[in-house]
Amino acid sequence: MKLLLKQLSNHKIDKLVINSLDQSLYQAVVQIGNEEHIVWETHEKPLITRNLMEIRGFFEELNIKEAVLRHESAYDEMIGHPVSDGTNRLEVPLDVNPYSTAKWLH
């Protein structure tokens, strides 16, 4: 199911996952129930930015229970680690509020 950013207010979002893809390139994914869905800006373009604060700001008005920054590396074997069948996923918890102070004070 393709979820547009403007449609997310109609859903109960359990978790916001911000995938760290490559050197300051972030992609938004939401978990609804047990399923993860890529968030789309338009029908042709997924929501991807080069600014972590910007992508978090898109979701500040939504009622989200949990937010994480996720990174998965495909380069373990390049640094001498054996290729494994498991995952090397790293998830860092984020505050659901992207701003430590009110946005209008920035």
pLDDT digits (tens, 9 = 90+) for 27-74: 999 999 999 999 999 999 999 999 998 999 899 889 899 999 999 876
Confidence category of residue 23, pLDDT binned at 50, 70, 90: confident
Residue showing tokens 């995938």: 19
Element (H, E) at 55: helix 52-57
Mean pLDDT of the chain: 85
Residue showing tokens 């997924």: 46
The structural domains of the chain, with segments of one domain joined by +, span 3-73+88-96
Cα-based angle 43, 103, 11 (whole degrees, multiple of 5): 40
Phi/psi of residue 83, nearest 5 degrees: -70, 130
For the whole model, what pTM was predicted?
0.81
The Cβ of residue 103 has, within 10 Å, a number of other Cβ atoms equal to: 10
Percent of the chain, pLDDT > 70? 79
* Residue 82, pLDDT above cutoff 80: no
Look at residue 77 in the predicted model and tell me its pLDDT. Answer: 63
If one compares 78 and 30, the residue with the highest pLDDT of the two is 30
Taking residues 17-28, report their average pLDDT: 91
Look at residue 88 in the predicted model and tell me its pLDDT. Answer: 75
Look at residue 79 in the predicted model and tell me its pLDDT. Answer: 67
